[in-house]
Amino acid sequence: MGRRRVDEEMQLFNDTVGRRIMLLRKMRRMSAVDLAAAVGIKSSRLYWYESGRTSCPALILSKIAKHLHVPVTYLMVETYAKNE
């Protein structure tokens, strides 16, 4: 697997995690500031994770999942609907 392919897959992973965090946070009517404070990070860092701009460390991802009341795997696995 080439470097470009690895980078693309990592970006897809970051995007998936970020979308899931943001969706769950909004569904629970939680502000980014409140979630960030609950897990011990700055809200600007949470924005980076939600936008897929950077990878979220496992420890922070685990804390986010706990505060959003989901298993950490839910944040990491994209489910695709088949277009038939």
Mean pLDDT of all residues in 52-79:
92
Identify the residue whose tokens are 């899931």: 20
Q: Is the per-residue pLDDT at 79 higher than 60?
A: no
Paired tokens of 40: 């011990």
- State residue 81's pLDDT score: 39
DSSP string over 22-69:
HHHHHHTT--HHHHHHHHTS-HHHHHHHHTTSSPPPHHHHHHHHHHHT
Q: Is the pTM of this model over 0.75?
A: yes
Q: Report the Cα–Cα distance between both ends of the chain, in Å, rounded.
A: 30
Domains of the chain: 3-76 (1.10.260.40)
Contact between 78 and 37 under an 8 Å Cβ cutoff? The reply is no
pLDDT at 83 over 60: no
pLDDT value, residue 1 = 60
Selection from 2-16, 48-62, 67-81 with the highest mean pLDDT: 48-62
